[in-house]
Amino acid sequence: MEPNKDFNQFDIPLAKRTYLDNSNSILKKKLLIFSPFLLLLFSIAALRLTRNIKLEPLVNLNFQAEISDENRILGHLPYTEISKEKLVLIEPNIKVHIDMRDSLLKMREEAKRDGIYLVFLSGFRSINLQNDIFFSLKSIRNQEAAERARVSAPPGYSEHSTGFAIDIGDATQRETDFETEFENTDAFRWLTKNAAKFHFKLSFNKNNKYIDYEPWHWRYEGSIEALKVFETSNRDL
Ligand SMILES: [Zn+2]
Protein backbone atom coordinates (compact mmCIF):
# COMPACT_ATOMS: atom_id res chain seq x y z
CA MET A 1 0.00 0.00 0.00
CA GLU A 2 1.38 3.34 -1.15
CA PRO A 3 1.24 6.23 1.23
CA ASN A 4 -1.34 8.84 0.26
CA LYS A 5 0.44 11.24 -2.07
CA ASP A 6 -2.14 14.02 -1.48
CA PHE A 7 -1.25 14.03 2.14
CA ASN A 8 1.36 16.45 3.12
CA GLN A 9 3.60 14.01 4.92
CA PHE A 10 5.32 16.75 6.80
CA ASP A 11 2.06 17.73 8.54
CA ILE A 12 1.79 14.28 10.09
CA PRO A 13 3.75 13.64 13.29
CA LEU A 14 6.59 11.16 12.83
CA ALA A 15 4.88 8.38 14.81
CA LYS A 16 1.79 8.41 12.60
CA ARG A 17 3.80 8.61 9.40
CA THR A 18 5.73 5.47 10.14
CA TYR A 19 2.46 3.71 10.97
CA LEU A 20 1.35 4.33 7.37
CA ASP A 21 4.61 2.97 6.03
CA ASN A 22 4.23 -0.25 4.03
CA SER A 23 7.36 -1.89 5.44
CA ASN A 24 5.84 -1.55 8.91
CA SER A 25 3.01 -3.94 8.13
CA ILE A 26 5.56 -6.54 6.96
CA LEU A 27 7.33 -6.13 10.25
CA LYS A 28 4.01 -6.64 12.03
CA LYS A 29 3.44 -9.89 10.13
CA LYS A 30 6.93 -11.05 11.02
CA LEU A 31 6.24 -10.19 14.62
CA LEU A 32 3.04 -12.26 14.51
CA ILE A 33 4.95 -15.25 13.18
CA PHE A 34 7.71 -14.91 15.73
CA SER A 35 5.53 -13.97 18.67
CA PRO A 36 5.21 -17.57 20.00
CA PHE A 37 9.02 -17.77 20.06
CA LEU A 38 9.27 -14.42 21.78
CA LEU A 39 6.69 -15.54 24.28
CA LEU A 40 8.67 -18.71 24.88
CA LEU A 41 11.90 -16.75 25.36
CA PHE A 42 10.16 -14.37 27.74
CA SER A 43 8.72 -17.28 29.74
CA ILE A 44 12.15 -18.93 30.03
CA ALA A 45 13.69 -15.65 31.20
CA ALA A 46 10.88 -15.12 33.75
CA LEU A 47 11.20 -18.70 35.01
CA ARG A 48 14.94 -18.35 35.45
CA LEU A 49 14.46 -15.10 37.32
CA THR A 50 11.91 -16.57 39.77
CA ARG A 51 14.06 -19.68 40.26
CA ASN A 52 17.02 -17.49 41.12
CA ILE A 53 14.95 -15.55 43.63
CA LYS A 54 13.77 -18.76 45.30
CA LEU A 55 17.29 -20.18 45.42
CA GLU A 56 18.77 -17.20 47.19
CA PRO A 57 17.87 -18.13 50.82
CA LEU A 58 19.07 -21.71 50.28
CA VAL A 59 22.42 -20.44 49.08
CA ASN A 60 22.71 -18.26 52.18
CA LEU A 61 21.93 -21.16 54.53
CA ASN A 62 24.63 -23.28 52.91
CA PHE A 63 27.04 -20.41 53.27
CA GLN A 64 26.31 -20.17 57.01
CA ALA A 65 26.85 -23.90 57.46
CA GLU A 66 30.19 -23.61 55.68
CA ILE A 67 31.26 -20.78 57.96
CA SER A 68 30.54 -22.69 61.17
CA ASP A 69 32.27 -25.78 59.76
CA GLU A 70 35.29 -23.69 58.86
CA ASN A 71 35.54 -22.48 62.45
CA ARG A 72 35.73 -26.03 63.77
CA ILE A 73 38.95 -27.81 64.56
CA LEU A 74 38.62 -31.60 64.43
CA GLY A 75 34.88 -31.10 64.92
CA HIS A 76 35.14 -28.77 67.94
CA LEU A 77 33.83 -25.21 68.02
CA PRO A 78 36.02 -22.38 69.33
CA TYR A 79 35.35 -20.95 72.83
CA THR A 80 37.07 -18.00 74.46
CA GLU A 81 38.32 -18.20 78.03
CA ILE A 82 36.09 -16.56 80.61
CA SER A 83 37.60 -13.67 82.61
CA LYS A 84 38.83 -14.62 86.09
CA GLU A 85 36.46 -12.17 87.82
CA LYS A 86 33.46 -14.23 86.70
CA LEU A 87 34.77 -17.46 88.22
CA VAL A 88 33.79 -18.78 91.65
CA LEU A 89 35.09 -21.71 93.65
CA ILE A 90 32.43 -24.35 94.44
CA GLU A 91 34.75 -27.19 95.52
CA PRO A 92 38.41 -27.12 96.57
CA ASN A 93 39.52 -27.62 92.98
CA ILE A 94 36.47 -26.66 90.97
CA LYS A 95 35.63 -23.22 89.65
CA VAL A 96 32.59 -22.37 87.54
CA HIS A 97 30.98 -19.30 85.98
CA ILE A 98 29.28 -17.28 88.71
CA ASP A 99 26.00 -17.26 86.71
CA MET A 100 25.64 -21.02 86.94
CA ARG A 101 26.80 -21.61 90.53
CA ASP A 102 23.40 -21.28 92.27
CA SER A 103 21.61 -23.43 89.75
CA LEU A 104 24.30 -26.12 89.89
CA LEU A 105 24.32 -26.28 93.70
CA LYS A 106 20.52 -26.29 93.81
CA MET A 107 20.52 -29.21 91.39
CA ARG A 108 22.87 -31.20 93.62
CA GLU A 109 20.67 -30.42 96.66
CA GLU A 110 17.50 -31.53 94.94
CA ALA A 111 19.20 -34.74 93.75
CA LYS A 112 20.30 -35.46 97.33
CA ARG A 113 16.68 -35.11 98.49
CA ASP A 114 15.82 -37.82 95.97
CA GLY A 115 18.63 -40.04 97.33
CA ILE A 116 20.99 -39.32 94.42
CA TYR A 117 24.54 -38.19 95.12
CA LEU A 118 26.08 -36.09 92.36
CA VAL A 119 29.80 -35.40 92.42
CA PHE A 120 31.42 -32.62 90.44
CA LEU A 121 34.51 -33.82 88.59
CA SER A 122 35.64 -30.85 86.51
CA GLY A 123 34.43 -27.32 85.90
CA PHE A 124 36.35 -24.41 84.43
CA ARG A 125 39.55 -25.35 82.63
CA SER A 126 41.93 -22.71 81.32
CA ILE A 127 43.15 -22.90 77.75
CA ASN A 128 46.63 -23.63 79.17
CA LEU A 129 45.36 -26.60 81.15
CA GLN A 130 43.39 -27.82 78.13
CA ASN A 131 46.61 -27.56 76.16
CA ASP A 132 48.32 -29.90 78.66
CA ILE A 133 45.38 -32.31 78.67
CA PHE A 134 45.07 -32.44 74.92
CA PHE A 135 48.70 -32.69 73.95
CA SER A 136 50.14 -34.71 76.84
CA LEU A 137 47.38 -37.35 76.88
CA LYS A 138 47.63 -37.55 73.14
CA SER A 139 51.24 -38.67 73.32
CA ILE A 140 50.68 -40.98 76.31
CA ARG A 141 47.81 -42.77 74.59
CA ASN A 142 49.63 -42.94 71.26
CA GLN A 143 46.69 -41.33 69.49
CA GLU A 144 46.66 -39.05 66.53
CA ALA A 145 45.06 -35.62 67.10
CA ALA A 146 41.88 -36.56 65.21
CA GLU A 147 41.31 -39.66 67.39
CA ARG A 148 42.12 -37.71 70.55
CA ALA A 149 39.65 -34.99 69.56
CA ARG A 150 36.79 -37.47 69.71
CA VAL A 151 37.23 -37.65 73.49
CA SER A 152 38.92 -34.33 74.36
CA ALA A 153 38.74 -30.81 72.97
CA PRO A 154 41.83 -29.05 71.59
CA PRO A 155 42.92 -25.96 73.61
CA GLY A 156 40.68 -22.98 72.81
CA TYR A 157 37.90 -25.34 71.69
CA SER A 158 36.61 -26.66 75.01
CA GLU A 159 33.27 -25.76 76.58
CA HIS A 160 35.14 -25.97 79.89
CA SER A 161 37.04 -22.74 79.19
CA THR A 162 33.72 -20.83 79.21
CA GLY A 163 33.03 -21.77 82.84
CA PHE A 164 29.57 -23.01 81.75
CA ALA A 165 30.47 -26.71 81.54
CA ILE A 166 30.54 -29.27 84.34
CA ASP A 167 31.51 -32.94 84.40
CA ILE A 168 29.35 -34.88 86.82
CA GLY A 169 29.78 -38.31 88.39
CA ASP A 170 27.82 -40.58 90.70
CA ALA A 171 29.32 -40.48 94.23
CA THR A 172 28.26 -44.10 94.79
CA GLN A 173 29.83 -45.40 91.56
CA ARG A 174 33.12 -43.57 91.10
CA GLU A 175 34.41 -46.26 88.75
CA THR A 176 32.09 -44.78 86.11
CA ASP A 177 33.71 -41.30 86.29
CA PHE A 178 34.36 -40.06 82.74
CA GLU A 179 33.17 -43.39 81.37
CA THR A 180 30.31 -44.14 78.99
CA GLU A 181 29.03 -46.53 81.71
CA PHE A 182 28.04 -43.46 83.69
CA GLU A 183 24.84 -43.59 81.65
CA ASN A 184 23.80 -46.67 83.65
CA THR A 185 24.03 -44.92 87.02
CA ASP A 186 21.15 -43.52 89.06
CA ALA A 187 22.85 -40.12 88.87
CA PHE A 188 22.65 -40.08 85.09
CA ARG A 189 19.05 -41.28 85.05
CA TRP A 190 18.17 -38.54 87.54
CA LEU A 191 19.98 -35.90 85.45
CA THR A 192 18.24 -36.99 82.27
CA LYS A 193 14.90 -36.46 84.03
CA ASN A 194 15.70 -33.29 85.99
CA ALA A 195 18.69 -31.34 84.63
CA ALA A 196 16.63 -29.20 82.23
CA LYS A 197 14.75 -27.73 85.23
CA PHE A 198 18.08 -26.25 86.31
CA HIS A 199 18.99 -25.20 82.73
CA PHE A 200 21.56 -27.94 82.19
CA LYS A 201 21.84 -29.82 78.95
CA LEU A 202 23.92 -32.79 77.81
CA SER A 203 26.50 -31.36 75.39
CA PHE A 204 27.59 -34.39 73.41
CA ASN A 205 24.81 -36.87 72.90
CA LYS A 206 24.92 -40.06 70.87
CA ASN A 207 24.00 -38.24 67.64
CA ASN A 208 27.00 -35.90 67.60
CA LYS A 209 28.90 -36.56 64.41
CA TYR A 210 32.23 -35.19 65.63
CA ILE A 211 32.56 -35.99 69.31
CA ASP A 212 32.04 -39.21 71.25
CA TYR A 213 29.09 -39.52 73.60
CA GLU A 214 29.88 -37.96 77.01
CA PRO A 215 27.04 -38.68 79.47
CA TRP A 216 29.02 -36.94 82.26
CA HIS A 217 29.48 -33.59 80.48
CA TRP A 218 26.71 -31.01 80.98
CA ARG A 219 26.52 -27.37 80.06
CA TYR A 220 24.54 -24.49 81.50
CA GLU A 221 22.14 -22.55 79.27
CA GLY A 222 20.33 -20.54 81.94
CA SER A 223 21.54 -17.05 81.03
CA ILE A 224 21.70 -14.91 77.91
CA GLU A 225 25.50 -14.99 78.03
CA ALA A 226 25.50 -18.79 78.17
CA LEU A 227 22.96 -19.06 75.36
CA LYS A 228 25.09 -16.76 73.23
CA VAL A 229 28.20 -18.83 73.90
CA PHE A 230 26.44 -22.03 72.75
CA GLU A 231 24.38 -20.47 69.94
CA THR A 232 26.46 -21.99 67.09
CA SER A 233 26.56 -25.38 68.75
CA ASN A 234 22.77 -25.42 69.16
CA ARG A 235 22.24 -24.23 65.59
CA ASP A 236 24.41 -26.97 64.12
CA LEU A 237 22.81 -29.92 65.86
ZN1 LIG B 1 33.64 -32.17 80.15
Q: What pLDDT sits at residue 117?
A: 98
Residues 101, 154: contact at Cβ < 8 Å?
A: no
Give mean pLDDT, residues 60-66.
Answer: 49
Cα–Cα distance measured from residue 232 to residue 76, given in angstroms and rounded to the nearest whole number: 11
Cα–Cα distance measured from residue 127 to residue 114, given in angstroms and rounded to the nearest whole number: 36
Cα 218 to ligand 1 centre (Å): 7
Q: What pLDDT sits at residue 135?
A: 86
Q: What are the backbone angles phi and psi of residue 2, rounded to the nearest 5°?
A: -80, 145
Cα 219 to ligand 1 centre (Å): 9
- Please state which of the ranges 38-47, 74-83, 156-165, 170-179 shows the lowest mean pLDDT: 38-47
Cα 202 to ligand 1 centre (Å): 10
Mean of the per-residue pLDDT values for the chain? Answer: 82
What percent of the chain is predicted at pLDDT more than 70? 68
Cα–Cα distance measured from residue 124 to residue 100, given in angstroms and rounded to the nearest whole number: 12
Q: What pLDDT sits at residue 151?
A: 86
Cα–Cα distance measured from residue 231 to residue 115, given in angstroms and rounded to the nearest whole number: 34
Cα 70 to ligand 1 centre (Å): 23
Cα 216 to ligand 1 centre (Å): 7
Cα 76 to ligand 1 centre (Å): 13
- Please state which of the ranges 7-11, 168-172, 196-200 shows the lowest mean pLDDT: 7-11
Q: What DSSP designation does 73 have?
A: B
Give mean pLDDT, residues 19-40.
Answer: 60
Cα–Cα distance measured from residue 80 to residue 78, given in angstroms and rounded to the nearest whole number: 7
Cα 203 to ligand 1 centre (Å): 9
**pLDDT higher than threshold 80 for residue 97:** yes
**pLDDT-based confidence at residue 66 (cuts at 50, 70, 90):** low
Nearest alpha carbon to residue 75 among 179, 180, 208, 202: 208
Cα 1 to ligand 1 centre (Å): 93
Reading phi first (left if > 0) and then psi (alpha if -120 to 50, else beta), residue 74 is in left
Cα 158 to ligand 1 centre (Å): 8
CA angle 70, 76, 80 (to 5 degrees): 90
Cα 168 to ligand 1 centre (Å): 8
pTM: 0.70
Q: What pLDDT sits at residue 55?
A: 47
DSSP-based helix, strand, coil % in the chain, nearest 5: 55, 10, 30
**pLDDT higher than threshold 60 for residue 61:** no
pLDDT in tens, 130-179: 998 888 865 566 788 888 888 889 999 999 999 999 999 999 999 999 99
Cα 119 to ligand 1 centre (Å): 13
Cα 121 to ligand 1 centre (Å): 9
Cα 55 to ligand 1 centre (Å): 40
